C-alpha cells in the first residue's frame, strides 16, 4: 500500500515539475489567491498559503441551484453527501460524519451534545439563501475550533456588509427555484438597507418538496416530501474604519420530514428490505441569536480580534407509527447553548503571527415523550426522549498558535489547545418507558490537551508545499452517554466511554501557473478510542447496538487539477480515494470473550464482555473512489454561461459490521457504483435578472449515495430565476 502511494506521489510531482518549467511565471499566486478565514479561526489569509487542505463554494449560481446546504458540497474531494432522507443530508469528510465534523455559521459553532452519531439531519437546517461562501477545511482543525473538528470543518459565511457612501440606499433580490424530479418549488427574498455607518439585511425563504422521482426503474419514491422555511436577519454598525459590530438572528423550521427507509414505503432496489413502521416524521426548529464585535490594525497584543456572544436553541420532535396494532410514540428534545468566543491575533516578538483565544459553552438539555395507540390517542408518558431527560453539558477551552518564519523560507506553525468538558447527567434511564431503570445522577469530566505542528514553504512564486501532524479529539457527548434510541438500532446508555483521540499526518502541494492550478494531499489518520456502535442480536430478536471504544485508521489521497483553456473556458478534475479500519465487536456466542480496558488503569473495574470478539472492519459508510470532471464557459463580455459535469463513483463494498445489518439502506453486496452526467447554464437578462437551467442525471440512472435511505433523483430539470432590485 505504501509503495502504491509513493509511486503515485512521484508521478504527480514529476507532472507538476514539468508543468512549472513549461509555463511562464506570473504575478505571485499568493497575492491573487482568494481569501480564507476558517483555517485561522476567523482571520483572513490567502487560500494559496494555507497549511490545510481546503475547498470552497463561491459560485452564486451553484448556491442558488443547490437544494440544500450539504448538497452544495457534492464533488469536493473526500466529501460524500449521504442522504438519510430528502430533508436529512449529512457530509462525510475524510471518512467521518455527524458529530465528527464541525459545522459553523459565520464562525459560530452549531455542534452540540445532543447531535446523533453518524449521518444526521442537523446540517440540513442551515439555510443556504443569503450565504455568499462555504469554506471546507479537511482534516483535524481542533487547535482553532476545538472538539468535533476531526474529519473537517464547514463554515457557511454571509456576505460582508456594504455601507453606502452617503445617504440611505436600499436593495435586494428575489430568487425562485423549480425542480421536476423533486416536484419542488422554492422562493426567497433578500432586502438590504444601508447608510455610511449602518447596514441591515433580511432574508426569508420558503421551500416545498414533493415525493422524489428516482431513475428510470425506481420511479416515484413515496413518502419523501416535506416543507421548510428559514429567516435570517443581520444588523451591522461601522464603529470606525477598522472596527464594527453585528447583531444577528437565524431561524429554520422543517416540518414533517419523513425518514422513509424505516417505513413500509422503503425501496426494494438491489435487494433492500423496507422498514416495518407505518410512518416516521421529524420536525426541526433551530434559532440562533448572536452579537459580534470585531476590529483589526489596533496594534499591541490584540492587533485583530473577534468577540462573539451567542444563544443557540435547537428543538426536535419525532413522531412514528409502528406496526399495525403496535401504536407509536412521540419523542422530543430541547437544547439551549449559551456561547462566548474571544479570538485575537498579534505580531509576535520574533516576526511571526501569534493567535490565541478562549471558547465557553454551557448547554442545558431536556427530553421526553409519550406513547399513543393506533388512533394516535395519547397514552403513557415516556420518562425521557432519545437521550437524557435532564442534563447540562459545559465546556471551556483556550488555545495558542504561532507562525514562525524559519530559515530557507520554511514556516513553522505550532499550536496547543486545552479543553475541559463536564457532563452533568441529572436524570436518565436505561429504558425510557420504564421508571424503574432511573439511574443515579452522574457527573463526567474530560480534560484534554492537543497539539498541532504545520510546516510550509513557498516553491518559487507559484508553488506551495505543506505538511504537518494535527490532533483532534471528541469527548463523549450527552447523546453517547445516555441515548436509548439510536435511529437504526436500539442501544443503552454507557457512562464509561472514553474520549476519542485522532492524529492526522498530511503532506500536500498546491500551485498554479499561467494555465494550470492544482492541489494534492496525502493523509493518514490514527484513531484511538473512537466510540463505535457494533450490532448484535438480543434474546428478544431485536438488533441492538453495543457502544465501546475502538482503535484504527483512515487514510486517503486527494487530487485537484484545473486548466484554463483561454479566458472563457476552464476545466477541473478532482479525484479521491480512501481506506480505513476500526476495531468493532463481532458477536461470537461460542465462547470468545473480550476485555474492555479501563482507561483509568483500574483493573478491578475492567469489563469482560462474553460472546464478543474484536475484529477490524472499515469505518461505517466508507466513501468509495470518486472522480469529478467539470468544463465551464463564462465570458466577461457574454451574457451566457454553461457547464458540463461528470461525477463517477465506485462501488462501496468495504462495509462495517453495522453496514452489514443496515438492510434498508445498504445492499448486501455493497452500494453499486454509478456515473452521472449533467448540464448547467444560464443567461443574464439585462443587468438585474438571471435565468438558469440545470439538467441533472441525463442518463436517468438509478443510483444512491452510499448509506443513503433513498435513491438520488432521476433525470431532473431545475429552473432558477433571480432578480435584483
Q: What is the pLDDT of residues 263-311, one digit of tens each?
A: 999 999 999 999 999 999 999 999 999 999 999 999 999 999 999 999 9
Query: Per-residue pLDDT for 70 more than 50?
Result: yes
Q: Tell whether the model's pLDDT for residue 596 goes beyond 50.
A: no
Q: Which three cell numbers stand for residue 33?
A: 489567491
| Across 236-264, average pLDDT | 96
Q: Tell me: pLDDT of 666 over 80.
A: yes
The residue whose grid cell reads 505550532 is 414
Please give the model's pTM, rounded to 2 decimal places.
0.92
Query: What's the CA gap between 367 and 346, in Å, rounded?
Result: 44
Cell digits of residue 622: 466508507
Share of residues in the chain with pLDDT > 70 (%): 91
Answer positive or negative: Cα dihedral of 143, 148, 152, 155.
negative
5, containing H or E segment: helix 2-22
The Cα–Cα gap between 200 and 233 comes to 8
Residue-wise pLDDT for 618-640, tens only, equals 999 999 999 999 999 999 889 99
Q: Cα 699 to the chain's mean position, in Å?
A: 29
| 606 or 467, which is more confident | 467
Mean pLDDT within 440-456: 97
- Contact indicator for 600, 607 with CB cutoff of 8 Å: no
Of the candidates 12, 47, 28, 15, the residue with the CA atom closest to the CA atom of residue 513: 28
CA angle centred on 63, ends 59 and 67, rounded to 5°: 150
Is it the case that residue 25 has pLDDT exceeding 60? no
Q: What is the pLDDT of residues 670-708, one digit of tens each?
A: 999 999 999 999 999 988 999 999 999 999 999 999 999
Please tell me the predicted confidence (pLDDT) of residue 261: 95
pLDDT digits over 397-406, tens only? 999 999 998 8
Residues 6+ apart with CB under 8 A from 178: 184, 185, 186, 718, 719, 720
Q: How many CB atoms lie within 10 A of CB 10?
A: 10
pLDDT at 598 over 50: no
What is residue 408's predicted lDDT score, i.e. its pLDDT?
86
Q: What local confidence, expressed as pLDDT, does residue 194 receive?
A: 97
Q: What is the pLDDT of residue 32?
A: 58
- The closest alpha carbon to 385, from 99, 88, 114, belongs to 114
User: Measured in whole angstroms, how far is the alpha carbon of residue 579 from the centre of its chain?
Assistant: 20
HSE-up (13 A, CA, CB side) for residue 386: 25
Cα–Cα distance measured from residue 363 to residue 361, given in angstroms and rounded to the nearest whole number:
6
Q: Percentage of the chain with pLDDT > 90?
A: 80
- Specify the higher pLDDT residue, 61 or 148: 148
| Topology (CATH) of 2-724 | Maltoporin; Chain A (2.40.170)
Q: Where are the domains of the chain?
A: 2-724
The per-residue pLDDT for 605 is 35
* pLDDT digit string, tens, across residues 76-114: 999 999 999 999 999 999 999 999 999 999 999 999 999
User: Would you say residue 587 has pLDDT above 60?
Assistant: yes
pLDDT in tens, 285-297: 999 999 999 999 9
pLDDT tier at 609, thresholds 50, 70, 90: low
Residue scoring higher pLDDT (362 or 63): 362
pLDDT in tens, 311-357: 999 999 999 999 888 899 999 999 999 999 999 999 988 888 999 99
Cα separation, 481 vs 428, in Å, equals: 10
Residue 140 has pLDDT above 60, yes or no: yes
Give the HSE-up count for residue 666: Cα atoms under 13 Å, Cβ half-sphere. Answer: 23
What pLDDT is stored for residue 60 in this prediction? 79
Dihedral (Cα; 491, 496, 498, 499), 10-degree rounding:
70
CA distance 568 to 290: 42
| Average pLDDT of every residue of the chain | 90
- Which residue in 224, 204, 202 sits closest to 213, CA to CA? 224
Amino acid at each position: 500500500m505504501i509503495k502504491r502511494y509513493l509511486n503515485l506521489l512521484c508521478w504527480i510531482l514529476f507532472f507538476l515539475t514539468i508543468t512549472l518549467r513549461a509555463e511562464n511565471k506570473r504575478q505571485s499566486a499568493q497575492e491573487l489567491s482568494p481569501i480564507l478565514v476558517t483555517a485561522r479561526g476567523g482571520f483572513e489569509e490567502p487560500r494559496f498559503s494555507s497549511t490545510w487542505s481546503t475547498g470552497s463554494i463561491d459560485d452564486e449560481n451553484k448556491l442558488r441551484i443547490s437544494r440544500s446546504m450539504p448538497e452544495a458540497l457534492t464533488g469536493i474531494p473526500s466529501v460524500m453527501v449521504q442522504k438519510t432522507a430528502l430533508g436529512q443530508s449529512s457530509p462525510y469528510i475524510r471518512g467521518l460524519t455527524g458529530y465528527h465534523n464541525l459545522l459553523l455559521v459565520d464562525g459560530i459553532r452549531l455542534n452540540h451534545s445532543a447531535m446523533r452519531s453518524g449521518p444526521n439531519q442537523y446540517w440540513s437546517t442551515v439555510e443556504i439563501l443569503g450565504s455568499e461562501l462555504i469554506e471546507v477545511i479537511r482534516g483535524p482543525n481542533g487547535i482553532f475550533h476545538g472538539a468535533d473538528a476531526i474529519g473537517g470543518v464547514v463554515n457557511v459565511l454571509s456576505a460582508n456588509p456594504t455601507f453606502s457612501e452617503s445617504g440611505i440606499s436600499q436593495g435586494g433580490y428575489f430568487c425562485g427555484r423549480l425542480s421536476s424530479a423533486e416536484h419542488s418549488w422554492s422562493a426567497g427574498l433578500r432586502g438590504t438597507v444601508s447608510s455610511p455607518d449602518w447596514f441591515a439585511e433580511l432574508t426569508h425563504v420558503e421551500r416545498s418538496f414533493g415525493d422524489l422521482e428516482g431513475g428510470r426503474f425506481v420511479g416515484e419514491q413515496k413518502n419523501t416530501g416535506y416543507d421548510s422555511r428559514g429567516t435570517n436577519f443581520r444588523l451591522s454598525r461601522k464603529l470606525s474604519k477598522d472596527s464594527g459590530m453585528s447583531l444577528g438572528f437565524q431561524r429554520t423550521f422543517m416540518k414533517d420530514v419523513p425518514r422513509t427507509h424505516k417505513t413500509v414505503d422503503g425501496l426494494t432496489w438491489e435487494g433492500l428490505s423496507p422498514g416495518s413502521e407505518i410512518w416516521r416524521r421529524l420536525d426541526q426548529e433551530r434559532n440562533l441569536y448572536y452579537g459580534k464585535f470585531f476590529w483589526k490594525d489596533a496594534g499591541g497584543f490584540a492587533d485583530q480580534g473577534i468577540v462573539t456572544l451567542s444563544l443557540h436553541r435547537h428543538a426536535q420532535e419525532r413522531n412514528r407509527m409502528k406496526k399495525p396494532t403496535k401504536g407509536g410514540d412521540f419523542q422530543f428534545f430541547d437544547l439551549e447553548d449559551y456561547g462566548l468566543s474571544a479570538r485575537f491575533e498579534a505580531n509576535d516578538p520574533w516576526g511571526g503571527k501569534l493567535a490565541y483565544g478562549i471558547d465557553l459553552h454551557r448547554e442545558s438539555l431536556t427530553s421526553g415523550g409519550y406513547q399513543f395507540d393506533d388512533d394516535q390517542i395519547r397514552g403513557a408518558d415516556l420518562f425521557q426522549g432519545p437521550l437524557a431527560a435532564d442534563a447540562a453539558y459545559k465546556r471551556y477551552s483556550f488555545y495558542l498558535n504561532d507562525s514562525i518564519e524559519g530559515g530557507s523560507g520554511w514556516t513553522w506553525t505550532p499550536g496547543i489547545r486545552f479543553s475541559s468538558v463536564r457532563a452533568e447527567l441529572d436524570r436518565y434511564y436505561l429504558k425510557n418507558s420504564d421508571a424503574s431503570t432511573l439511574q443515579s445522577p452522574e457527573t463526567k469530566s474530560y480534560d484534554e490537551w492537543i497539539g498541532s505542528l504545520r510546516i510550509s514553504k513557498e516553491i518559487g512564486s507559484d508553488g506551495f508545499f505543506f505538511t504537518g501532524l494535527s490532533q483532534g479529539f471528541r469527548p463523549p457527548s450527552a447523546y453517547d452517554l445516555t441515548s436509548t434510541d439510536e435511529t437504526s438500532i436500539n442501544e443503552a446508555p454507557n457512562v464509561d466511554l472514553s474520549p476519542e483521540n485522532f492524529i492526522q499526518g498530511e503532506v500536500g502541494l498546491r500551485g498554479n501557473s499561467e494555465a494550470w492550478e492544482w492541489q494534492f494531499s496525502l493523509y493518514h489518520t490514527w484513531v484511538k478510542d473512537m466510540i463505535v456502535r457494533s450490532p448484535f442480536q438480543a434474546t428478544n430478536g431485536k438488533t441492538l447496538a453495543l457502544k465501546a471504544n475502538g482503535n484504527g485508521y483512515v487514510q486517503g489521497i486527494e487530487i485537484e487539477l484545473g486548466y484554463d483553456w483561454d479566458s472563457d473556458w476552464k476545466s477541473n478534475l478532482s479525484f479521491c480515494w480512501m481506506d480505513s479500519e476500526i476495531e468493532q465487536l463481532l458477536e461470537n456466542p461460542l465462547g470468545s470473550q473480550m476485555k474492555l480496558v479501563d482507561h483509568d488503569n483500574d483493573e478491578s473495574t475492567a469489563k469482560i464482555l462474553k460472546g464478543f470478539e474484536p475484529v477490524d472492519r472499515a469505518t461505517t459508510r466508507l466513501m468509495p473512489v470518486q472522480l469529478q470532471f467539470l468544463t465551464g464557459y463564462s465570458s466577461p463580455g457574454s451574457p451566457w454561461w454553461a457547464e458540463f459535469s461528470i461525477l463517477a463513483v465506485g462501488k462501496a463494498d468495504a462495509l462495517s459490521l453495522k453496514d452489514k445489518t443496515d438492510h434498508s439502506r445498504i445492499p448486501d453486496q455493497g452500494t453499486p457504483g454509478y456515473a452521472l452526467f449533467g448540464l448547467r447554464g444560464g443567461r443574464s437578462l439585462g443587468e438585474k435578472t438571471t435565468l438558469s437551467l440545470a439538467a441533472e442525471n441525463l442518463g436517468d440512472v438509478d443510483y444512491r449515495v452510499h448509506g443513503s435511505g433513498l435513491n438520488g433523483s432521476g433525470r431532473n430539470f431545475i429552473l432558477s430565476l433571480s432578480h435584483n432590485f
